[in-house]
Structures are given as C-alpha cells and as structure tokens.
Structure 1
C-alpha cells in the first residue's frame, strides 16, 4: 500500500520541482487574405455565374468555356477525385448528383 502512495507523492514532487517559466511562443501568423483585386477572377467565373442551376451538357460546357475565356475547364461530380493544386486560370464546374451545375469557381 505504501508503494502506490509513494509513487503519487514522487510524481507530484517531480511536477512541481520544475519552476522554470513556460517557454515563450510566437503568436500565430494572421490567416491568409483572399485577393479580390486584379487577377482574382483569372478564369472568368464571375461572367458565367448565371449558369448555376442549369442542367449540364457538352454544349453548355463549350459555351461556358468560351464566354469565361478560361484556359482550362474541369468538371467535378460528387465523389470525383481531383488534384488539390490551385490554378487561377482553371474554371471548375461543380455538379450535383443530377448533373445540375451547383457551383462555378476558379482554381
């Protein structure tokens, strides 16, 4: 019975023995800011936002690509695997389960 009690006392003593102040830590950097300035809409997504809610098809894809002026167009359906690289000139068209455009954005 003495051994467990002795262990607890020694553990408490060891914790309180270090009277050194806690190490100073630098503050976290501020979060990144989204640039809404020139070049923020490099893929032309703003010009084709009216297509959201429409049924997607090849003809609509071509029209969106032409009107936006995007260098690349990527269509993403639910569950599709996609690279996480950010390309400002790439237009991402996100579809829902019924092939209806849910979101259009650069990246």
Structure 2
C-alpha cells in the first residue's frame, strides 16, 4: 500500500464543501402560507352580508378583506377543508344572499 493518494481525491473534499455552501445560500420561500400582506380579514367584508354574490360584490369583498382569493360557498357545495389564511369564504344561503364571511 502507498501513503500517497491520487490527485483526484484532493479535489473531492473542496468540491463537496463548495456544493454544500452553494446549497446553504439558496433562497428559500418562507415557511407556509402567503405573505402577511395577503392575510384575510373577514371583518372588512361584512358589508357583503345580505347581498347577492355578484361578480362586483365578490370582488369588493375580496378587496375589502385584503384577501388574495375568494370562494362563494352555496348550500350543498363540496368544499375542501384546507385552511388558507389568504382566502375569503362567502357563505350563501338558499335565497342566494351572502349570510356569512369567514377566512380560511
């Protein structure tokens, strides 16, 4: 056996260190959820209660709540159970009037 190592083995350790360092500098998205500027505030959309969910009313409620998105939920609609802090929910009754506003 020889005490000398091949030249390529001397390059392996610096290459590994370089790859690990580059990975540590990569930009990572913030963990979970939208940025704070897109947080829903249902209180801002209470003016929509009692109104028909027209496109204008829905968009105004979205803007007033500060939400990134909005969904209209009618009786019997299937909805996902995922909670999103940037989404406004407009709950509509059988008379097609908004009866509640929530975030999630």
TM-score for the superposition, normalised by structure 2: 0.59
Match of 1:54 among 51, 56, 61: 51
State the 4+ residue runs in structure 1 displaced beyond 4 angstroms: none
Match of 1:98 among 81, 86, 95: 95
Larger helix percent: 2
- Show CA shifts across 1:35-79 (max 9, x none): xxxx8xx31211111221112211111111122220111110000
Whose Rg is larger?
A: 1
Q: SS in structure 1 opposite 2:59?
A: helix
Q: SS in structure 2 opposite 1:64?
A: helix
Q: Partner of 1:81 in structure 2?
A: 78
TM-score for the superposition, normalised by structure 1: 0.58
Unaligned runs of 5+ in 1: 1-38
| RMSD (Å), alpha carbons | 1.4
> Matches of 1:92 and 1:71 in 2, distance apart?
11
Match of 1:70 among 67, 71, 84: 67
Q: How many residues in Structure 1 have an aligned counterpart in Structure 2?
A: 67
Unaligned runs of 5+ in 2: 1-35
